[in-house]
Amino acid sequence: MKKVLIPTKLDKFAVDLLTQKGFKVVLDDSTPLAELAQANSDVEVLIVRSEKISAEIIDLLPKLRLIVRAGAGYNTIDIKYARRKNIDVMNTPGANANAVAEVVIAMLLAAYRHVVNGDITTRAGKWEKKSMLGTEITGKTLGVIGLGNIGRLLVKRLSGFEMKVLGYDPMIPESFAQKLGIEMCEVEKIFAEADIISLHVPEISETKNMVNADRLKLMKPGAVLINCARAGIVNEEDLRAAKSEKKIFFCNDVYPKDEAGTKSVADIADVMLPHLGANTKEANFNAAKMSAEQTIAYFEQGITNCVVNKEIPDGLDAKFQKLAFILSGIAKNALGKNVVPERIETSFYGELSQFGKWMLAPVTAGICADFDPYTDAADAKSFLASRGIDIINRETDESKQYGNSMTIDVCSMGTKPTRVSIRGTIAENNLMVSRIGNYDKLYLEPSGYNLFVEYNDEPGVLGKIAGLLGEKHINIIDIRAPQDLKNNRSLAVVKTNMEVPDILVDRIRENANALNVFKFSNVE
């Protein structure tokens, strides 16, 4: 009989379902986790919500085989240490999405109609109606940053208010967004035109402090900013300054730590909740049901679709997954910063042909920074499908004798169809880019800082590029300069000792009369 420990407040449906299937379940949300772990060292399954599962907790459970996060985010679990201990970690994506979408609406209505202050003052015997002139949602412009499960549900739930909807998500093609009634645009346009801005992105390097002074100064006076995503997305000091100037409404449900104590945003939040986004009976039931069902399927049928820390199969060098991630990242950058891919085509040659599905997650992560490469092919396909992106794994012609290599094409099918095709392999244990588009025999080792400049072939261009870099004291480590003789074009790939600033990239584009200029960094 397998033993399951649930050290959290979770709907008892999970206990009932697991018990019916022969599991022994311990549900205890009052005893400290470390004590529970010591008293139940024989458990094989741990089902948690927001509890921190550290290496120390994992070490207290020597028989542990599976950790299930009853929810989507799993940043509280040390998934890498779990992998080293041969423990699978699952999540239950989508279980809480509707609950979070609804709490956004609740906070918006509370802010627009002075619900919190109105309740407090009326209970106190006051009648402050004149000071509580409200605002209606109907007809306003909604800006949604991040159009995953929650963002799309929010748009759907608010559709009855006849709002104009602006959206930003680097993985949502415009054609797909149009079907949802969303006008895709840049973040800056959302901040400038939206009456209500709701954040639904993960906290990663690209999104940390994305709500900053430059964007806040674009907001309309009296606009509403709602954060039910992650605390680090909003620069509090910048918001504090902007709020005093523009009377921005701020609704907040997320904090650096979920715990009692003074909150740093207390002076600037018009509505603040103790992370209630997923705290509904329905979301709790959904998470409980999904976590129990996934646990049963894991042991009875070997189903691992939601495992977020999968290890690689026997026979596959992990470097090829890293190569797939880098190749797709370069291709996405070459396609264009603001161009959303609508199709990905892959070809895996030699022995790699049997491992194609293990490459899909890193390929997806390469073109979308908020996708976790630890997930599997099913998750990657679902992620891409939810954003209207097709994925095709092509049959390969082994007569080409490409050896163990891969080709990844990233395509935009808009008014100006664009395709970037890139091939790579591993040579002498080093990752190698062998071709980009028509530029063959590139033999680029894609580490460090790389600047790609495509231009009509003519003398002196390389000298101009080198001169502009030299003016800014940027050293050139390596240069690759293949030609496309058929189209009379050249590609300069310049590896530098530091990242080339965007303003200098623009100067190089102008001076080289470049057809395309983009950067790619791989610094570990």
Contact 412, 421 (CB under 8 A): no
**According to the model, what pLDDT value does residue 375 have?**
63
Q: How far is CA 433 from CA 24, 207, 408, 473, in A?
A: 52, 29, 11, 27
Q: Which of 3-12, 70-79, 250-259, 348-357 has the lowest average pLDDT? A: 70-79
**According to the model, what pLDDT value does residue 170 have?**
84
309 CB burial (10 A radius; 0-12, 13-18, 19+): buried
**According to the model, what pLDDT value does residue 301 have?**
87
**According to the model, what pLDDT value does residue 194 have?**
98
Please give the model's pTM, rounded to 2 decimal places.
0.75
Picking from 391, 386, 384, 308, the residue whose alpha carbon sits closest to that of residue 97 is 386
Checking if the pLDDT of 310 tops 90, the result is no
Checking if the pLDDT of 372 tops 70, the result is no
Please state whether beta strands 390-393 and 343-348 pair in parallel, antiparallel, or not at all (unpaired).
parallel
**According to the model, what pLDDT value does residue 504 have?**
96
Mean pLDDT of the chain: 92
288-297 pLDDT per residue, tens: 999 999 999 9
**According to the model, what pLDDT value does residue 48 have?**
95
**According to the model, what pLDDT value does residue 374 have?**
60
- pLDDT confidence bin for 73, thresholds 50/70/90: confident
Work out the angle at residue 341's Cα, subtended by the Cα atoms of residues 304 and 219, and round it to the nearest 5 degrees. Answer: 100
Checking if the pLDDT of 136 tops 90, the result is yes
- pLDDT confidence bin for 415, thresholds 50/70/90: low
- pLDDT greater at residue 84 or residue 89: 89
Checking if the pLDDT of 390 tops 80, the result is yes
107-125 pLDDT per residue, tens: 999 999 999 999 999 999 9
Q: Which of 184-193, 308-317, 504-513 has the lowest average pLDDT? A: 308-317
Q: Which domains does the chain have, with CATH numbers?
A: 3-93+281-301 (3.40.50.720), 97-272 (3.40.50.720), 319-522 (3.30.70.260)
421-449 pLDDT per residue, tens: 999 999 999 999 999 999 999 999 999 99
Work out the angle at residue 333's Cα, subtended by the Cα atoms of residues 350 and 73, and round it to the nearest 5 degrees. Answer: 85
- What torsion do the CA atoms of 30, 25, 376, 367 make, to the nearest 10 degrees? -20
Question: How many Å apart are CA 98 and CA 76, to the nearest integer?
Answer: 22
Question: How many Å apart are CA 209 and CA 2, to the nearest integer?
Answer: 44
- pLDDT confidence bin for 402, thresholds 50/70/90: confident
- pLDDT confidence bin for 357, thresholds 50/70/90: confident
Measured over the CA atoms of residue 358, residue 361, residue 362 and residue 364, the dihedral's sign is: positive
- pLDDT greater at residue 113 or residue 79: 113
